Chains A and B, each alone.
Chain A
C-alpha cells in the first residue's frame, strides 16, 4: 500500500465562513477547483498505472461489453432518430432553395458533431453513472479500503480497465452512430414525400462532401469524450462519502460534470481542428 496508491487523499475541508453571496461563490469555486484537481490526479494516476497484462485485458473486455456492446441497441435507436429528425428539419429549411445539398449537411452534422456528442452523453448517462455508482458503493462499503489492505491499488484495479474500455469503445460507438444516423436520414429521404430528392442523390452528395478528416475529427472527439467520462465517473466514485445518499449525489454529479466537460472539450477540439 504505497501512500500514492491511496484513492484520493484529501485534506479536511477548510472551515469556511460563508458570509453572504461572496462566501458562497468562493466556496463553490474552491469546490470546483478541488474536483478538477482530483480528476486530474485520477487521470494521470490512471495513465501512469496502465499496464496491459492478461488479467487487465479480462477486466477491460468485461467493461467493453458493458460500455459498448450493451449500449448498441440504445445507440441504434438514438442515432436513427437523430438522423431522421435532422433530415426532416433541414429538408424543410431547404425546400425554398435546393434539397440536393441535404446529404452533405446531414452527413457533416452527424459525423463531426452530433454523433460524438450524443454518444458521449449517452455513455455518460448510462455507463458513466453506473461506474460512479458502483465505485461509490464500493467506497462507502469499505471495499476500496479492503483492496488497499490487500496491497491492491484501487486506481489500477478499478480505474484503468474502465478508462481503457471507455476510451476504446466510444470512438467505435461514434462510428456506429455515424452509419446508423446517415441510414436514418436515408430512410426519411426514401419515404417522406416532403423530401424531393432520391436516396442516391442524398448519398452521392454526402460522400462527395464528407472526407476522411471529418470522420477522424469525430473519432478523436469520441476518444477524448471516453477519457473524460471514465475519469469523471471514477473520480466521483472514489470521492463518495456518506452512504447511499452520497452515492446518489456522486452519480448525479458525475453525469452533470461529464455533460459540461464534453461540451467544453468539444469546442476546443473543433477550434483546434479548424486551426490544423
Chain B
C-alpha cells in the first residue's frame, strides 16, 4: 500500500430541497487535506444528504463542492482512469453486494476497470483485509458476517482503490460500544497510514471527539458550529450544548 496524501474539500452555499422541503439550506464547510472531519447533528438534519452530495450521489439545487481545485461536477464527468484522485464511501448499511464474496466485493472496482493483474488484485485484497483485521474471510459471503464484520469489509472495499477521500455514513450505527471503538481506531489508523481525507457522519459525540480533527455541527440545513475536536466540549453554541447535554444523558 502506498502512502497517499488527501485532498481538500471546499463546500460553498450547498442547497438541497426534497419535495419543497429544504434539507440543506446553504452549507459552507472546508475540510483540509488529510484531516478527519466529523459531521454531527440530530436525526433528519441532512448529514447523510450532505455526504451523498460529496460522493456525487445527489445533485444540489445550488452551491458548489470543490475537491482540491476541481469542481465535483467536472470530477464526476471524468472517465475512471482520468480522475486525478479517487473517492470511496462506506455506507451506513455497508452496502456489500450480497451475491459476491468478500474478496469479490473488495476487488470489484479493480476488476471492472482492469487496472491491476489478478495477482496484484489478490495481494491488494489480502492487504486490505489484514488492515481491517479480517484476514482469511476472502471466500465468505456477506450474509455469513456479523454487522461489525460487514462494516470492516466495507471499509476494506473503500481502501482497496487507495482513495484520497473516504466518506463514512454512520460507520458505527447499530454497533455495540466495543465494535464502535474498533471502527473508531480503524479510522484513526487509516489517517496515520494513508493520510486520506476522511469525512465521518456520526451521531456518537464521544466517538466524534475521539477520532475527529475537526467537528462540524449541522442544524437546520447549515453548519452552525465548527470546532477542533478537543474543544467541542467547551463550545458555547446553544445547539452544540444541547447535543452534548443529550449525549451526557446517554453515556
Contacts and interface: CB of A to CB of B under 8 A. Distances in A.
Interface stretch (A8-16, A44-52, A110-118): A8-16
B168 to A, nearest CB: 12
A145 B59 contact: no
Given A1-B76, A149-B88, A138 B108 contact: no
Interface stretch (A95-103, A150-158, A217-225): A150-158
Interface string B78-115: 01100100011101110111100000000011011100
A271 interface: no
B161 interface: yes
A40 B183 CA distance: 44
A60 to B, nearest CB: 15
Nearest to B81: A151
A151 to B, nearest CB: 4
A143 B96 CA distance: 6
Contact of A150 (B20, B59, B76, B108): B108
B19 interface: yes
Given A149-B57, A149-B88, A3 B96 contact: no
B77 interface: yes
Interface residues of A, number: 21
B18 A148 contact: no
B55 interface: yes
B108 A152 contact: yes
Nearest to A53: B114
Nearest to A5: B76
Nearest to B73: A3
Contacts of B89: 145-146, 149
A193 interface: no
A3 B93 CA distance: 24
A24 interface: no
Interface in A56-85: none
Contact of B57 (A143, A145, A150, A157): A145
By CB atoms of chain A within 10 A, which of B18, B57, B87 has the most? B57
A55 B111 contact: yes
A20 interface: no
Contacts, number: 61
Contact of B95 (A3, A15, A143): A143
Contact of B56 (A142, A146, A148): A148
Interface residues of B, number: 29
Contacts of B108: 150, 152
Contact of B109 (A13, A141, A152): A152
B19 A149 contact: no
A151 B95 contact: no
B161 A150 contact: yes
Contacts of A142: 91-93, 95
A150 B109 contact: yes
A2 B91 CA distance: 20
A233 to B, nearest CB: 16
Contacts of B55: 145, 149
A148 B57 contact: yes
A149 B76 contact: no
Contacts of B95: 141-143, 145-146
Contacts of A151: 80, 83, 109, 112-113
A98 B100 CA distance: 60
A138 B93 CA distance: 11
Interface in A101-137: none
A241 to B, nearest CB: 12
A131 B113 CA distance: 25
A3 B71 CA distance: 14
Contacts of B59: 9
Contacts of B57: 145, 148-149
A2 B112 contact: no
Given A3-B77, A13-B19, A138 B91 contact: no
Interface of B: 18-20, 52, 55-57, 59, 76-77, 79-80, 83, 87-89, 91-93, 95-98, 108-109, 111-113, 161
14 contacts: A2-B79, A3-B76, A12-B18, A15-B19, A142-B92, A145-B57, A149-B55, A149-B56, A150-B88, A150-B108, A150-B161, A151-B80, A151-B112, A151-B113
Interface of A: 1-3, 9, 12-13, 15, 55, 138, 141-143, 145-152, 157
Nearest 6 CB-CB pairings of A with B:
A151-B80, A146-B95, A150-B109, A142-B95, A142-B91, A149-B89
